[in-house]
């Protein structure tokens, strides 16, 4: 059964566009073929189906979250998108009978041809022999020795033939002594349940996106704000709802492997209040090459971090990797420089307005108090870490908490595949 959830019905929006400058940081998994090195290992089917195992039944919260994660990958402006989901009764390389129809379908991969990154086709590169069951499977495992999630890829002559994405039924964190601390996945987008915001659960969707990007050929990235690092601290935010997404740099990585999509509607701008954290010490074993992220902050006009900062319960900010909302202590009328990440996740470079607001809650809308308007050139290259100076009203109430918000494309001048990720916020507490 093919599920149409993932099918992208892209409206055709014709416009002139400029290809982005090449200034990226992503990492591509490569292999060697015929003496040529650094060939990207890639999916040759531009619209592959994926198989969900019995641990991801139709209609389950796992199913809903995973299809939404795959849909997020489908929004990327690369010439690759998942076509649909096929259900099986079991899913591991040892379990084949339930997938007989699927195997015969994928057997034809023997005749798939290898499309090089420059778009030319190597018809000599037929797959001479195959391993695994040749299905692209997603499933949960209760193997107590496995990591939180991983992706296995088998490729022949640099053609990926079997990609399996496996999630641990019981994810865990690691304490200071190296012991596993079991926790649960959350399949929701609620910030309060997310580990990133000091909640109790590990968000599933960002991890599912991260693993799916491994499947498609991306490796870990440590130099930039990127979902191929710590994935659940790479999210958009809209009020108390997080927005899992691929992000600008990983999107550019997929474009580098697969070329650009023929669907011109694949445009998306975004803002986040997470950015890459420079701290590299203390990373868990095996995660040293992950970019780690932390909440964006507020600086003064001398570029000094405002360190006088409290959380919702008025305890001091810890400036840790994971942290609840922070409220930076500011004065009425003060000029401050809030940090935001602004991204172009889409096909075109654009000139877009960014508006800054003062809000009494963390849902930032154009009905909030406008503080400043800026026009920015937003290219799809590296995420932009922006420090815009904004001056606070002198009428603020001492002792009160507010939010500084930013909205990109506030008037919806651009048609985007995702319109919910255009704002973000940082808290302030008026002295
Ligand atoms: Zn990974």
φ/ψ region of 419 (left if φ > 0, alpha if ψ in -120 to 50, else beta) reads alpha
Question: Rounded to the nearest whole angstrom, what is the distance from the C-alpha of residue 206 to the centroid of ligand 1?
Answer: 11
- The whole-number pLDDT of residue 215 equals 92
Q: Outline which parts of the chain fall under CATH 3.40.390.10.
A: 4-263
Ligand 1 centre distance from Cα of residue 250 (Å): 12
- What does the pLDDT look like over 358-407, one tens digit per residue? 999 999 999 999 999 999 999 998 899 999 999 999 999 999 999 999 99
Tell how far the Cα of 149 is from the centroid of ligand 1, in angstroms: 8
Query: What is the pLDDT confidence band of residue 222, given thresholds at 50, 70 and 90?
Result: confident
Confidence of residue 284 (pLDDT cuts 50, 70, 90): low
| Distance of CA 150 from the midpoint of ligand 1 (Å) | 7
Q: How far is CA 363 from CA 61, 391, 408, 424, in A?
A: 26, 20, 14, 8
> Looking at 81-95, 287-301, 326-340, 368-382, which range is the least confident one?
81-95
d(CA 201, ligand 1 centre) in Å: 19
C-alpha of residue 5 to centroid of ligand 1, in Å: 25
Report for 94-98, 190-194, 260-264, 317-321: range of highest mean pLDDT? 190-194
CA dihedral 8, 76, 261, 418 (to 10 degrees): 60
For the segment 213-236, the average pLDDT, to the nearest whole number, is 93
pLDDT tens-digit map of 126-179: 343 444 566 788 999 999 889 999 998 877 667 777 788 999 999 998 888 889
Whole-number Å distance, alpha carbon 171 to ligand 1 midpoint, is 14
Q: Where are the alpha helices (DSSP H) in 185-267?
A: 204-215, 248-258
Mean pLDDT of 328-335: 98
244, burial (CB in 10 Å: exposed 0-12, middle 13-18, buried 19+): buried
User: Which residue do the tokens 């929004």 mark?
Assistant: 75
Distance from Cα 181 to the centre of ligand 1, integer Å = 20
Ligand 1 center to 325 CA (angstroms): 27
Whole-number Å distance, alpha carbon 160 to ligand 1 midpoint, is 17
Q: How far is the CA of 180 from the centre of ligand 1 (A)?
A: 18
| Spacing of C-alpha 369 from chain mean position | 30
Average pLDDT, the chain: 82
Question: For residue 86, how far is its CA from the centre of ligand 1 (angstroms)?
Answer: 24
For the chain, residues classed under CATH 2.60.40.10 are 272-430
Residue 105: per-residue pLDDT: 29
Residues sharing a CB contact under 8 Å with residue 10, sequence separation 6 or more, in sequence order: 263, 264, 265, 266
How far is Cα 225 from Cα 247, in angstroms, rounded to an integer?
9
How far does the centroid of ligand 1 lie from the alpha carbon of residue 286, in Å? Answer: 10
Q: How many CB atoms lie within 10 A of CB 300?
A: 15
User: What is residue 110's predicted lDDT score, i.e. its pLDDT?
Assistant: 30
pLDDT digits (tens, 9 = 90+) for 201-210: 999 999 999 9
Asked which of 30-34, 94-98, 331-335 is least confident by mean pLDDT, the reply is 94-98
Side-chain half-sphere exposure of 179, counting CA atoms within 13 A = 3
Query: Residue range 343-372: average pLDDT?
Result: 97
Mean pLDDT over 119-131 rounds to 43
Residue 164 pLDDT: 87
Mean pLDDT, to the nearest integer, of 91-109? 30
What is the dotted CATH code of the domain comprising 4-263? 3.40.390.10
Position of tokens 């001479």? 128
Token digits of residue 268: 């998306």
Q: Which residues contact 128 (CB under 8 A, 6 or more apart)?
A: 156, 157
Q: List, as one string, the DSSP characters of 100-146.
A: HHHHHHHHGGGG--EEPTTS-EETT-------S----EEEEE--TTS
Predicted local distance difference test score (pLDDT) of residue 319: 92
Centre of ligand 1 to C-alpha 342, Å, is: 24
At residue 337, the pLDDT reads: 97
pLDDT at 81: 84
Query: Following DSSP, what letter does each residue of 391-426 receive, concatenated?
Result: EPPTTPPTT-EEEEEEEESTT--S--S--TTSEEEE
Q: Report the pLDDT averaged over residues 305-319.
A: 96
- 364 CA distance to ligand 1 middle (Å): 32
For residue 166, how far is its CA from the centre of ligand 1 (angstroms)?
12
CA of 316 to the centre of ligand 1 (A): 33
Strands 121-122 and 36-40: unpaired
Question: Token pair for residue 282?
Answer: 């203390």
In angstroms, what is the span from residue 28 Cα to ligand 1's centroid?
Answer: 12
Could you give the dihedral angle defined by the CA atoms of residues 52, 193, 284 and 208, in that order, rounded to the nearest 10 degrees? 20
Q: What is the CATH number of domain 272-430?
A: 2.60.40.10
- As a whole number of angstroms, the distance between CA 379 and CA 24 comes to 11
Q: How far apart are CA 221 and CA 223, in angstroms?
A: 6
Closest CA to 208 of 61, 337, 417: 61
- Least confidently predicted of 33-42, 71-80, 98-107, 387-396: 98-107
- Cα of 328 vs centre of ligand 1, distance in Å, is 33
What distance in angstroms lies between residue 226's CA and the mean position of ligand 1's atoms? 11
Beta strand pairing call for 423-430 and 326-330: parallel
pLDDT digits (tens, 9 = 90+) for 1-18: 233 233 222 222 222 233
């Amino acid at each position: 059964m093919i599920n149409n959830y993932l099918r992208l019905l892209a409206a055709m929006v014709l416009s002139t566009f400029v290809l982005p400058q090449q200034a990226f940081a992503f990492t591509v998994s490569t292999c060697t073929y015929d003496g040529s090195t650094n060939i990207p290992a890639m999916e040759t089917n531009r619209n592959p189906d994926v198989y969900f195992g019995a641990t991801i039944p139709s209609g389950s919260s796992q199913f809903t979250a995973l299809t939404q994660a795959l849909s997020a990958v489908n929004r990327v402006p690369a010439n690759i998108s998942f076509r649909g989901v096929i259900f099986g009764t079991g899913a591991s390389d040892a379990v084949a009978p339930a997938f007989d129809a699927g195997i015969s379908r994928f057997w034809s991969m023997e005749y798939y041809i290898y499309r090089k990154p420059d778009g030319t086709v190597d018809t000599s590169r037929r797959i001479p022999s195959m391993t695994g069951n040749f299905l692209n499977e997603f499933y949960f495992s209760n193997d107590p020795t496995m990591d939180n999630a991983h992706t296995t890829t088998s490729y022949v002559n640099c053609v990926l033939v079997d990609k399996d994405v496996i999630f641990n039924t019981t994810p865990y964190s690691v304490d200071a002594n190296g012991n596993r601390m079991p926790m649960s996945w959350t399949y929701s987008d609620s910030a309060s349940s997310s580990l990133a915001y000091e909640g109790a659960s590990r968000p599933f969707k960002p991890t599912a996106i991260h693993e799916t990007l491994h499947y498609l050929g991306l490796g870990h990235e440590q130099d930039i704000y990127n979902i191929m690092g710590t994935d659940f601290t790479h999210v958009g935010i809209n009020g108390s709802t997080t927005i899992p997404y691929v992000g600008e740099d990983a999107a550019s990585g997929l474009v580098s492997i697969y070329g650009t999509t023929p669907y011109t509607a694949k445009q998306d701008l975004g803002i986040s209040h997470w950015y890459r954290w420079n701290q590299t010490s203390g990373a868990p074993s095996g995660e040293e090459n992950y970019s780690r992220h932390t909440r964006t902050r507020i600086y003064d006009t001398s570029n000094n971090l405002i360190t006088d900062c409290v959380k919702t319960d008025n305890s001091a900010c810890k400036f840790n990797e994971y942290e609840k909302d922070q409220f930076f202590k500011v004065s009425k009328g003060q000029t401050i420089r809030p940090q935001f990440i602004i991204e172009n996740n889409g096909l075109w470079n654009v000139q877009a307005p960014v508006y800054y607001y003062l809000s009494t809650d963390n849902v930032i809308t154009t009905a909030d108090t406008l503080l400043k308007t800026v026009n920015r050139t937003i290219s799809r290259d590296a995420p932009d870490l922006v420090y815009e100076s904004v001056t606070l009203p002198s009428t603020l109430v001492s002792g009160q908490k507010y939010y500084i918000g930013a909205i990109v494309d506030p008037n919806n001048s651009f048609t985007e595949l995702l319109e919910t990720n255009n704002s973000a916020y940082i808290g302030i507490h008026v002295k």
